Amino acid sequence: MSSVASAPVRVRFCPSPTGNPHVGLVRTALFNWAFAKHHQGTLVFRIEDTDAARDSEESYNQLLDSLRWLGFDWDEGPEVGGPHAPYRQSQRMDIYKDVAQKLQDAGRAYHCYCSTAELDARRDAARAAGKPSGYDGHCRDLSAEQVEAYRAEGRTPIVRFRMPDETITFTDLVRGELTFTPENVPDYGIVRANGAPLYTLVNPVDDALMEITHVLRGEDLLSSTPRQIALYKALIDLGIAKEIPSFGHLPYVMGEGNKKLSKRDPESSLNLYRERGFLPEGLLNYLSLLGWSLAADRDVFSMDEMVAAFEISDVNPNPARFDLKKCEAINADHIRLLDVKDFTERCAPWLQAPFAPWAPEDFDEAKWQAVAPHAQTRLKVLSEITDNVDFLFLAEPAEDEASWTKAMKEGSDALLRTAREKLESADWTSAEALKEAVLAAGETHGLKLGKAQAPVRVAVTGRTIGLPLFESLEILGKEKTLARIDAALAKLAA
């Protein structure tokens, strides 16, 4: 089964709880989840909440709620526990402090007293001289007197990791062999002056302690990988880590105008998709296509199919383009695949307050059950259900001026009068008979069915677009349909 590693696979999903969950984060979670399942491995869910200024409890709760809504499960992490608990980094501070101290004791990290102004000035000078502009190693080997002098000035140091003077090469699972030369990977901070450990330390330390075998994450983190590999080597020397994990960097996701999709772009907000009524399986299916595909001719598939087929080596390193239209089309296909009972249940939120404009007591379950199958074949997202069925539950059809102007032309009143007459004597147990009635009315006025039915539709439903008209009329019933045509005629006469 396993083609990547013979040791049991352990992957992690480790977001920071800042802001609202976004689609890039979901794509990363999905690929890790699918990879773990495919290899019958373990998915560790870890919360990287060491940045007290940016992390929030609200965001943490939202993250968990979103992952549960999407249908993800994890083997270790919040709510499920596990052998490496706790899984919230804010509860693991002692561990990082201890490791930072060990790294310093072993000479693999050191105190750096440089002020931001000094760092900036030296960086600018290096740039001007055409030299590498990263940290210059100023505090690598300070004498005891220099340290004393800095302390006397009241400076508090950060802790910096000492990068080895060597080229780092690794084989990325997505993009193949990558090489980083030392001048491009300078010594870097791992603990702030106030003692707070940084992502650069806590992330690889936890990957090591949690025995992560594969790190699958976004391309934006590629530049931190050579640093982490060097830190890993130090942790192995200290007996803290066992092995360097494999790394795979997932491609960027591009949005409008071929710009990187940012957390701040509205179309990247997961909540938006949820509110619009995307199905989790539809959204995940689409997100899986951002860098991967099941087969050239198959865009629509289940998560089980994805899991069975998912190989990290099949991920395409080129940027993926986020295409909302395609996302909607795939979601629509998943709506069609639901059984009708499931469909009606999933629509429930949009048939109630705050979305539904009708009074709760005007909702009619039998009419809803009758109309649901017609809606299921037409919606792209579930939230569209409200407008599509409101004509059944509102006392008057929705007012939509644009639809009215578009449908009500000269002669529409004559057409409506004839249609009313024919509908009055039609067989109301058959949508086909109602269609014949409107067709016949159209013929009387030299109109094809499409032109003849438009004013009828707007008179009865309020809108030019909606569910199949004659089924809609049949479900609404004769009395209400005729009353609405009368009301439209009165409005036209006025």
Nearer to ligand GLU, 25 or 163 (CB): 25
Q: Does 139 help bind Zn ion (rule: CB under 5 A)?
A: yes
* Span near Zn ion by CB under 5 A; candidates 136-144, 199-207, 245-253, 400-408: 136-144
Query: 14 touches which of Zn ion, ligand GLU, none (CB within 5 to 8 A by kind)?
Result: ligand GLU
Please indicate whether residue 448 is annotated as part of the active site: no
* Smallest separation, CB 30 to ligand GLU (Å): 14
* Smallest separation, CB 254 to ligand GLU (Å): 18
* Smallest separation, CB 48 to ligand GLU (Å): 4
Question: Which tokens in the block code for residue 493?
Answer: 């006469």
Nearest-angstrom CA–CA distance, 289 and 73: 21
Q: Does 191 help bind Zn ion (rule: CB under 5 A)?
A: no
135-141: long-range contacts (C-beta < 8 A, 24 or more apart)? 135/160, 135/186, 135/187, 135/188, 136/186, 137/186, 137/187, 138/112, 138/114, 139/110, 139/111, 139/112, 139/113, 139/114, 140/110, 140/187
* Smallest separation, CB 14 to ligand GLU (Å): 5
CA 130 to each of CA 118, 124, 125, 310: distance values in angstroms, whole numbers, following the listed order: 18, 10, 9, 45
* Smallest separation, CB 158 to Zn ion (Å): 8
Report DSSP state, residue 77.
Answer: B
Q: Does residue 474 contact residue 374 with C-beta atoms inside 8 Å?
A: no
Query: 246 touches which of ligand GLU, Zn ion, none (CB within 5 to 8 A by kind)?
Result: none
Nearer to ligand GLU, 217 or 422 (CB): 217
SS3 1: coil
* Catalytic one of 97, 102, 242, 263: 263
* Smallest separation, CB 300 to Zn ion (Å): 55
Q: Which of residues 34, 109, 114, 327 is near Zn ion by CB under 5 A?
A: 114
Q: Which of residues 23, 29, 47, 112 is near Zn ion by CB under 5 A?
A: 112
Query: 221 touches which of ligand GLU, Zn ion, none (CB within 5 to 8 A by kind)?
Result: ligand GLU
Query: 48 touches which of ligand GLU, Zn ion, none (CB within 5 to 8 A by kind)?
Result: ligand GLU
Q: Does 174 help bind Zn ion (rule: CB under 5 A)?
A: no
Nearer to ligand GLU, 204 or 277 (CB): 204
Nearer to Zn ion, 112 or 423 (CB): 112
**How many C-beta neighbours within 10 Å does residue 262 have?**
11
* Smallest separation, CB 10 to ligand GLU (Å): 14
Which residues are registered as beta bridge partners of 168?
180
Query: 208 touches which of ligand GLU, Zn ion, none (CB within 5 to 8 A by kind)?
Result: none
Which residue shows structure tokens 């979305």? 355
Query: For binding to ligand GLU (CB under 6 A), which residues are involved?
Result: 14-16, 48, 203, 217, 221
Query: 200 touches which of ligand GLU, Zn ion, none (CB within 5 to 8 A by kind)?
Result: none
Nearer to ligand GLU, 199 or 355 (CB): 199
Report DSSP state, residue 158.
Answer: E
Query: 203 touches which of Zn ion, ligand GLU, none (CB within 5 to 8 A by kind)?
Result: ligand GLU
Amino acid identity, residue 112?
A: C
Nearest-angstrom CA–CA distance, 396 and 460: 9
Nearest-angstrom CA–CA distance, 4 and 253: 25
Nearest-angstrom CA–CA distance, 344 and 295: 31
* Span near Zn ion by CB under 5 A; candidates 130-138, 219-227, 367-375, 471-479: 130-138
CA 156 from chain center: how many Å?
A: 41
Nearest to 88 by CA among 98, 76, 78: 78
Nearer to Zn ion, 182 or 218 (CB): 182
Count, residues near Zn ion per rule CB under 5 A: 4
CA 411 to each of CA 318, 416, 419, 453: distance values in angstroms, whole numbers, following the listed order: 57, 9, 12, 13
Nearer to ligand GLU, 251 or 397 (CB): 251
Q: Does 138 help bind Zn ion (rule: CB under 5 A)?
A: yes
Nearest-angstrom CA–CA distance, 218 and 230: 20
CA 278 to each of CA 271, 274, 347, 413: distance values in angstroms, whole numbers, following the listed order: 10, 6, 11, 40
What are the catalytic residues? 263
Binding site residues, Zn ion, CB under 5 A: 112, 114, 138-139
